[in-house]
Amino acid sequence: MKKFTKKILTVACALAMCIICLTGCSWLKVDNYKYYYETVVVSVDKKNFYKKDLVEAFNNYGYQYYESYGYTLEDSVNQTINTMVDRWLLLDSIITSGKYEISPEEELEIKAQAFDYMQDSIFTFETQVREEWELMAETEESEEEKKSLRVEEEVYEPSTYYEDGMVIRAGHVHDDNETFLDGTIAKDSHFTKDRQVITDPKVSNEAWARYITSLQKAAEGEGRSTTEADVLRFEEDRLIELLTNNLYLEKYEHDFFNNLEVDTSKIVEYYKKQYKAQKDRFLSDESLYHTAMKDAAKNYIYFHPNSGNEYVNVKHILIKFSDAQTQALTALEKEKENGSITEAAYNAKKRNIVNQTTSTFEMDGETKTWNAIVSTDDQTSVYEYVQSKVTGATLKERCAQFNELMYIFNDDEGSMNSEFDYVVNLDTSVADQMVKPFANGVRALDKSSNGEQSEWLNDTKGGEGAGSMDYIVSEYGIHIIFHAGNAVNLVDENNIDNIADEEILRLLCTTMTTPESNKSIFNLIYDTLKLEENAYNVKSQGDINTIRTELASKGIKIKIYEDNIKDLWK
């Protein structure tokens, strides 16, 4: 069965409860259904939009005008009306064109998702019941609700890929979202109490009763039948209509994107412009370059003076110390500075403090603890474990293996799901952004270093360059550091205009933001410029403008009943 993206229909699912609010004002009293369902706010020929439609639209997307874009409440409502009408005009045009069809399989999936949303509403009432009956403590967290010990890795899905010298747009495919239901949904099946998911008999029965009551209250206000069967069927049909309309809009969108050609010239032009600008700026004042590199973990640097010899890209895993360990190490360092402790005693005390470190993590579905540094008969150090797992033959493979372990052991959330790796300056005359032991340890890994003797493993770990690793100790904890390559220019040419655009395009598409990433520099710029979003907005708005022009030519006006909406912001 073909699946499609499950839209988050907040209002569609919660409408039965009729709790619609704005910041600072309540739009709707729950006992005023007739006013809510019968007051027309805008009309297009014979199509009327009611107050309920406007409230749904505002709750679904219009609130963003007010909360995110600085519109007044009045302007937000008016803009929501325009957007609501435009959406309907576009949808009506899409459906009546006959260009897009919904298959029987998709109709069944729509029905399954409608059932899913109805069950979600019941679960909402279950939460209310449990809170009122003080049963929340008895509710066990589902696997999805359990908080992970580490940040979850976010997977990037490129919108384009490079093949045979050409950039091709990745096709839009529907997500494979499962519903809560088991088995196949029959075409003539409907949502009844027999389909309710029972979590606790008493709680589920009470939640069902409240759900039905909310549907009946809405039906009573609209003058509809209030029998259980009728209100359930009405809600089911309402959701199916919403989901069906969404699917039509998705098909229109997918059709546009699947036929959209990638304008590579804009990407190449943008890259060249940024490269030239940074080159001029950084060569005129190199301090500006080092200032820019402070944010290199977040921003792509297009030009590096003295390419490859200034900064090292570094991945790391932090095994964080406790406050007590940090305090003990700080005191120990002061003893060393004061000369009140011998080198041997200092090393012994430091080793003892470090050996108190434990890192809790999840592996194979269990929570485990590793001894931080020293191997014993029954414990293996994190560093030795990481070494044993990072065995790839290429830098890309080794980076990918190390990156995977970061999401198991790393206590530094700032370096996870970052666009780029951390960087460390090789020139010690430049102020370090990392703590000194970290920065020195990374520099020792670079080929420009003569190597450095490791205090803990009695093994030289320096000067091996990209793909090598070591661990160092700072006041924050134990850092397993990994050399992920030097910061270099994508092109190295005095005049970038001497390089063919095709070659620049190839480099942009085959150079990744980090060695293991599937996000190329081309993808980075493409996403930054929002070319797809802008192109779709131009297309859809153009179609809407055409429809509005056709309506005007037929003498059909879009009439807004201003007196019927003023109370929404006053």
* Range 175-196 average pLDDT: 72
Residue 94 domain boundaries? 10-261
* Range 198-215 average pLDDT: 96
- Which of the listed residues 470, 487, 504 is the one where a domain comes to its end? 487
Query: Tokens for 423?
Result: 């960087």
Neighbouring C-beta atoms of residue 147, cutoff 10 Å: 5
What pLDDT does residue 62 have? 92
Q: Which residue has the higher pLDDT, 390 or 25?
A: 390
What's the whole-number average pLDDT of the chain? 85
Q: Which residue has the tokens 């003892």?
A: 352
Do 25 and 170 belong to one domain? yes
User: How confident is residue 125, by pLDDT bands cut at 50, 70 and 90?
Assistant: very high
Q: For 50-109, what is each residue's pLDDT tens digit?
A: 998 998 899 889 999 999 999 999 999 999 999 999 999 999 999 999 999 999 999 999
Q: Which residue has the tokens 């020195």?
A: 440
- The answer to the question of residue 570 being in a domain is no
Q: Which residue has the higher pLDDT, 202 or 476?
A: 202
Do 137 and 257 belong to one domain? yes
- Which of the listed residues 487, 512, 540 is the one where a domain comes to its end? 487
Q: Which of 487, 435, 481, 436 is nearest to 461 (CA)?
A: 481
| Residue 115: DSSP 8-state | H
- The answer to the question of residue 382 being in a domain is yes
**Phi then psi for 223, rounded to 5 degrees?**
80, 25
Q: Which residue has the higher pLDDT, 493 or 316?
A: 316
Q: Report long-range pairs for 269-272 (Cβ below 8 Å, ≥24 apart).
A: 270/525, 270/529, 271/302, 271/490, 271/504, 271/508, 271/521, 271/525, 272/496, 272/497, 272/504
Do 250 and 313 belong to one domain? no
Do 70 and 211 belong to one domain? yes
Q: Which residue has the higher pLDDT, 137 or 71?
A: 71
- The answer to the question of residue 520 being in a domain is no
- 241/213 Cα distance (integer angstroms): 22
What pLDDT does residue 450 have? 61
In the chain, the number of structural domains is 2
Do 250 and 317 belong to one domain? no
Residue 194 predicted with pLDDT over 80: yes
Residue 512 predicted with pLDDT over 60: yes
- The answer to the question of residue 332 being in a domain is no
- Predicted TM-score (pTM) of the model is 0.76
- The answer to the question of residue 239 being in a domain is yes
Do 314 and 226 belong to one domain? no
Q: Which residue has the higher pLDDT, 172 or 227?
A: 227
- Which of the listed residues 463, 487, 511 is the one where a domain comes to its end? 487
* Contact between 316 and 412 (Cβ < 8 Å): yes
Length of the chain: 570
What pLDDT does residue 361 have? 82
**Phi then psi for 167, rounded to 5 degrees?**
-95, 120
Residue 135 predicted with pLDDT over 70: yes
Residue 16 predicted with pLDDT over 50: no
What pLDDT does residue 148 have? 58
* Range 148-162 average pLDDT: 86
Q: Which residue has the higher pLDDT, 192 or 35?
A: 192
Do 317 and 207 belong to one domain? no
Do 250 and 371 belong to one domain? no
What pLDDT does residue 217 have? 92
